[in-house]
Chain A
């Protein structure tokens, strides 16, 4: 391989886009990808990188809580890979040998992000392109921001021996240490053209085929972010004839590497936002549709809600015209549940599509149906899902016409009679609660949705989530449930430590998940990662912080004409309260006394629980400047002082004034007399 000089396609591509808020280093991307790969890998199946925008987005939300669009995340990733490539290969005129760098202990191989980008290049090849070097390398060059070296030639700095070594000696060994097997051709490629088999193998479905998947997910009743077994995907793949909708290349891939196809579909499902794009739309007016699933809350009594997913670009408030309900979003990626009333029987059965009033191209759709399976929800209660989990507490909702068939089927599957309830449900619907599938029974033909699912799964339920995926607040980790057939006493591991599965599949792992950091839960071939971190405070709008610039003190007063006096000798103001019950007036100084004259004499109210003494150290000149108010202040006090004691009443809102009010008042009198004498010259 030559290392001829390279030309950068657009030098501006190397410059950070100032509009983008994302600046994530190559090393950080390595960690993001490593966590995702380890979290989604299965011990019994080969690992495929399956790089796509969706996979990068899923990996991002596994680790980060910043909300970004898939495009931003993809751009951020590409930029992160370009940076070291540019430095090492272009500026230093080296080759990709720098990617063989040995990582620190427990770190992923340094080449991970580059290899992922090489798979992304395969994924983004056009569907009609042949799987040739001539088609592949221009894509790779484009992602790296480089000119190609002519059709079929790799990008500059590329060395296929090194690249092959990165796959076989670095990535494969790293996964092997964790017990996983990397999907690789059985024979090590030995040339430029053979090399491209590896990235193509890791992205067997290209974008055009991947765009078919949301419709498939929707029809198969998968939920956004679901972890569904490859067996289940294979079953639904055949049942719903997805293969027939794929491109020729996609169909060929199904024949040649089905395991890779199912792995890629599983990756896409994990990152699916619940959106189906381009349905029922015409060219140039792409309709977007997100799916709805049901949530069943059993406490304090059964209540069913619609829960709509909220893909990127959907508004926080989704308002369908002619509907009393609006959808509001508070969880990233979801709208809040909309409770079903007794009158929702028809919409539950027949389904509906709601369009957003402001942007009719956005819609949410409930497919409807006659029966629904419910398994443990990651949030609360149960969610409708594809199939009933084996030996796990679950529920079934069905309409009246199906109740007998469902009851018979459930009786066989649970090995006990099953009675439904109707309380609190839409009219004509029945709910079977507290079910546990103990027998593998084939469902009747029209109850396929209730097929028993033996896939073991780790459900992370509740806790306080900080992000879209697997990040929880410190001290508030999720409850860990093993669904699909665990038994009491089975052993899972948390960070390598054995933990027993308790009643109802609960993993007794609370203490192990309290500490901040990454935690890995493994059970059988399943594993999940939990990240626990401390709260991070956002920045705040200063406008929310308000304090009084000019203090304003409340003065509750009975009816009458009052004069308020403060501790400063110029603080005096008259207020009139008309209402019989009294009123609250506001005073710009802190009033100490309120005085009023009436027929029997003078009333003096001490307004403060801890009143201040008079400020008697004012310079004479200042007193002159305030002459009018100072005189008024002093005259008011002197006037009271010269009134016959029998005609003066002192008081306050608190009996506590009794002890010191006389002493304090005498200080005010002294100050007032001094001022009075100065100003009158007497």
Chain B
């Protein structure tokens, strides 16, 4: 079974609890040594590609997103990726309409066997393709990445508005070492702190110099908040290759990862240097870097 089939199943169900997703997704990785970890990776991928939303309203439910043609951040709105709920019938219908209306359709197999379906044409034609889809209401959102960018909450805000808390007694505590990019037993100030109970409950904090713990909504946010406090760089951008890179152990917080992913419609590739997002325009990379508390990428000054 491939993740593409899992996506069809999620589309059919509409929503469910995380346990139901985990049970179904585990079958994609039957025989793997680290099924739980793979299921997590898949969950992130589905989220970053805007196929589904997990932990809706801070609960344990997932919900499939409506079928949509999402504009990729390629400088113009002429490329879109098919995202959200889908079925083989919907894919065939969209592809037929697209070809009939003179729209280029590229399909490729990506990680976990998910299909990346990219439609390229003028905005008017893409809107026509969406309107011609009769089996479901297919949305055409050419500026989806802009919408996501507008909703990005700067990491600095997490620190400014965080509640104070304290790890519960008896929980295992580790902190994230921003030099080694790994979790360690030794606790450092200005670090992301992960607390785990024996019942698998987890909580994340940032430990300040004065000993106060600030609650963070998740692991990724805690790591980037601590990087901001320590002024450590986690994200890099290569304007020539247009690749945005983060350490593999310090992925971008989900909303930022969604923006980076929807530049190309392809999830980050895990490489020796970390997680690499392709086709990221410089202005989007700079936006992500600034809002995650990182430095701006260097400007290129020309001699006229």
Q: Which chain B residues border A331 with CB–CB below 8 Å?
A: 20
Selected interface stretch from B9-17, B101-109, B162-170, B203-211: B9-17
Q: Which chain B residues border A300 with CB–CB below 8 Å?
A: 33, 35
Selected interface stretch from B81-89, B174-182, B246-254: B81-89
Q: List residues of A (540-592) whose CB comes within 8 Å of B's CBs.
A: 540-542, 544-548, 551-556, 558, 581-584, 586
Selected interface stretch from A38-46, A405-413, A605-613: A605-613
Of B85, B149, B199, B290, the contact of A582 (CB 8 Å cutoff): B290
- State the main secondary structure of chain B at its contact with A: mixed
Q: Which chain B residues border A487 with CB–CB below 8 Å?
A: none
**Pair A651/B302 contact, Cβ less than 8 Å:** yes
Q: List residues of A (621-674) whose CB comes within 8 Å of B's CBs.
A: 645, 648-658, 661-662, 665
Assess A548 versus B23: contact at CB under 8 Å? Given A581-B290, A650-B304.
Answer: no
Q: Which chain B residues border A546 with CB–CB below 8 Å?
A: 141, 147
Of B19, B27, B66, B295, the contact of A330 (CB 8 Å cutoff): B19
Tell me, rounded to whole Å, the shortest Cβ–Cβ distance linking A61 to chain B: 15
When chains A and B are docked, how far (Å) is the Cα of A339 from the Cα of B147?
40
- 0/1 per residue, B267-291, Cβ < 8 Å to A? 0000000000000011111110111
Determine which residue in A336, A607, A610 has the highest number of CB atoms from chain B within 10 A of its CB, and name it. Answer: A336
- 0/1 per residue, B67-108, Cβ < 8 Å to A? 110000001100000000111111000000000000000000
Tell me, rounded to whole Å, the shortest Cβ–Cβ distance linking B37 to chain A: 11
**Which chain A residue shows the least CB distance to B144?**
A547
Q: Which chain A residues border B242 with CB–CB below 8 Å?
A: 609, 654
Tell me, rounded to whole Å, the shortest Cβ–Cβ distance linking A596 to chain B: 12
B136 contacts A by Cβ under 8 Å:
yes
When chains A and B are docked, how far (Å) is the Cα of A608 from the Cα of B17?
42
A515 contacts B by Cβ under 8 Å:
no
Q: Which chain B residues border A558 with CB–CB below 8 Å?
A: 296, 299
When chains A and B are docked, how far (Å) is the Cα of A552 from the Cα of B61?
31
When chains A and B are docked, how far (Å) is the Cα of A174 from the Cα of B276?
63
**Pair A380/B147 contact, Cβ less than 8 Å:** no
Q: Which chain A residues border B1 with CB–CB below 8 Å?
A: 464, 475-476
B159 contacts A by Cβ under 8 Å:
no
Of B85, B198, B283, the contact of A607 (CB 8 Å cutoff): B283
Of B20, B152, B300, the contact of A653 (CB 8 Å cutoff): B300
A534 contacts B by Cβ under 8 Å:
yes
Q: Which chain B residues border A655 with CB–CB below 8 Å?
A: 239-240, 300
- We find that the number of chain B residues with CB closer than 8 angstroms to chain A is 73
Assess A653 versus B5: contact at CB under 8 Å? Given A330-B17, A473-B12, A556-B287.
Answer: no
Tell me, rounded to whole Å, the shortest Cβ–Cβ distance linking B260 to chain A: 13
**Pair A466/B12 contact, Cβ less than 8 Å:** yes
When chains A and B are docked, how far (Å) is the Cα of A584 from the Cα of B291?
7
Q: Which chain B residues border A427 with CB–CB below 8 Å?
A: none
B131 contacts A by Cβ under 8 Å:
no
Of B88, B146, B304, the contact of A645 (CB 8 Å cutoff): B304
Q: Which chain B residues border A545 with CB–CB below 8 Å?
A: 66, 68, 139, 141
Assess A329 versus B198: contact at CB under 8 Å? Given A466-B9, A475-B5, A609-B282.
Answer: no
Q: List residues of B (15-31) whose CB comes within 8 Å of A's CBs.
A: 16-17, 19-21, 23-24, 26-27
**Pair B304/A651 contact, Cβ less than 8 Å:** no
A215 contacts B by Cβ under 8 Å:
no
Determine which residue in A299, A474, A545 has the highest number of CB atoms from chain B within 10 A of its CB, and name it. Answer: A545
Assess A654 versus B282: contact at CB under 8 Å? Given A380-B26, A476-B9, A661-B302.
Answer: yes
When chains A and B are docked, how far (Å) is the Cα of A657 from the Cα of B135?
44
B122 contacts A by Cβ under 8 Å:
no
Of A537, A540, A551, A608, the contact of B12 (CB 8 Å cutoff): A537
Q: List residues of A (78-102) whose CB comes within 8 Å of B's CBs.
A: none
**Which chain A residue shows the least CB distance to B139?**
A545
**Pair B287/A554 contact, Cβ less than 8 Å:** yes
B297 contacts A by Cβ under 8 Å:
yes
**Pair A654/B149 contact, Cβ less than 8 Å:** no
Assess A473 versus B5: contact at CB under 8 Å? Given A540-B137, A556-B286, A653-B300.
Answer: yes
A538 contacts B by Cβ under 8 Å:
yes
B8 contacts A by Cβ under 8 Å:
yes
When chains A and B are docked, how far (Å) is the Cα of A392 from the Cα of B17?
32
Q: Which chain A residues border B282 with CB–CB below 8 Å?
A: 609, 652-654
A535 contacts B by Cβ under 8 Å:
yes
Q: Which chain B residues border A324 with CB–CB below 8 Å?
A: 199
B187 contacts A by Cβ under 8 Å:
no
A-B contacts, 18 of them at CB < 8 A, read: A300-B35, A464-B5, A474-B8, A476-B9, A537-B12, A539-B136, A541-B66, A544-B66, A545-B68, A546-B141, A552-B150, A556-B289, A581-B295, A653-B286, A655-B239, A657-B302, A658-B302, A662-B304
Binding site for B on A (CB under 8 A): 299-300, 324, 328-331, 336-337, 339, 341, 379-380, 462-464, 466, 473-476, 534-542, 544-548, 551-556, 558, 581-584, 586, 605, 607-610, 645, 648-658, 661-662, 665
Binding site for A on B (CB under 8 A): 1, 5-6, 8-9, 11-14, 16-17, 19-21, 23-24, 26-27, 33, 35, 60-61, 65-68, 75-76, 85-90, 135-137, 139, 141-144, 146-147, 149-150, 152, 154, 198-200, 239-240, 242, 281-287, 289-291, 293, 295-297, 299-302, 304
